[in-house]
């Protein structure tokens, strides 16, 4: 059997971010006190005031929360994955949560049936896709 399916190209892109949740708020406040943000009051033009304020905040944030750059891969979705599978997986996850909360055997059986159903849906969808795309 020969499958004539091209492998998807994976593109990469860089993202920049800062970990604001781990920011030390005391350090941020003290850095603001030593910044030139107090000079904002003496500026008359509203636009220049906003620009100065933003520059001061950005400068302090860059010191307190360093910007990190990360290269990520943009992976294409599975072509065989469809809305029916998505809904079945949601139902399976709902059933699992219910079973874990209650611990009842009936809920475990419902979860197990949903799990088997999702597995069959995925297998059938994959088989159908690859059957249609072979030589």
Q: For the segment 39-52, what is each residue's pLDDT rounded down to a tens digit?
A: 777 888 899 888 98
DSSP H/E element including 62? helix 46-64
Question: Of 35, 57, 74, which residue constitutes the final position of a domain?
Answer: 74
Q: Is 11 helix (H, G, I), strand (E, B) or coil?
A: strand
Contact 80, 129 (CB under 8 A): yes
Alpha-carbon distance of 81 to 8, in angstroms, equals: 15
Residue 11, strand partner residues: 74
Alpha-carbon distance of 133 to 129, in angstroms, equals: 6
What integer pLDDT is reported at residue 2 of this predicted model? 64
Looking at the fold, whether 68 and 121 belong to one and the same domain comes out as no
Which tens digit of pLDDT belongs to each residue from 58-72? Answer: 888 888 888 899 999
Boundaries of domain holding 98:
83-132
Number of structural domains found in the chain? 2
Of residues 38 and 104, the one with the higher pLDDT is 104
Alpha-carbon distance of 106 to 84, in angstroms, equals: 25
Percent of the chain with pLDDT over 70: 93
Which tens digit of pLDDT belongs to each residue from 74-84? Answer: 888 888 999 99
Looking at the fold, whether 57 and 90 belong to one and the same domain comes out as no
């Amino acid at each position: 059997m020969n499958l004539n399916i091209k492998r998807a190209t994976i593109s990469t892109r860089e993202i920049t971010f800062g970990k604001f949740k781990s920011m030390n708020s005391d350090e941020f406040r003290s850095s603001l006190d030593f910044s030139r943000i107090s000079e904002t009051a003496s500026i008359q033009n509203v636009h220049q005031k906003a620009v100065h304020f933003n520059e001061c905040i950005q400068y302090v944030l860059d010191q307190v929360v360093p910007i990190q750059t990360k290269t990520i891969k943009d992976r294409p979705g599975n072509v065989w994955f469809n809305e029916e599978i998505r809904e079945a997986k949601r139902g399976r996850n709902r059933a699992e949560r219910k079973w874990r909360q209650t611990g009842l055997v009936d809920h475990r059986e419902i979860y197990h049936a949903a799990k088997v159903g999702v597995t069959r849906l995925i297998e059938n969808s994959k088989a159908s896709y690859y059957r249609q795309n072979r030589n």
